[in-house]
Structure 1
């Protein structure tokens, strides 16, 4: 049987733990910053290639 308290917000200890975790993550981000980005701004972006290019450039040992 469900009661009115079943859909209530998270309990105070759970909310406090979430707030502490968010604060910890913020402090780590302030100290260490972001991890390295996926790619830098000076890195060239690969051109989209179709199957034809791969067929033409297949190594001989891949017959």
Structure 2
């Protein structure tokens, strides 16, 4: 058991929160990483939906 008067270290806090909530969020966000993503192909339903947009909407 830990001493309640001693402040917990970052590592102890991280492990405790991970035990409660599962994996924590990554340390960096996607805009900070240089992840090369392949362009996603548009599905037939997305293409149809875009074709249905009236001209005055863009």
- Normalising by the smaller structure, the TM-score range is 0.3 to 0.5
TM-score (norm 2): 0.33
Q: Which has the larger radius of gyration?
A: 1
TM norm structure 1: 0.31
* Higher RCO by CA contacts (8 Å cutoff, separation 6 or greater): 2
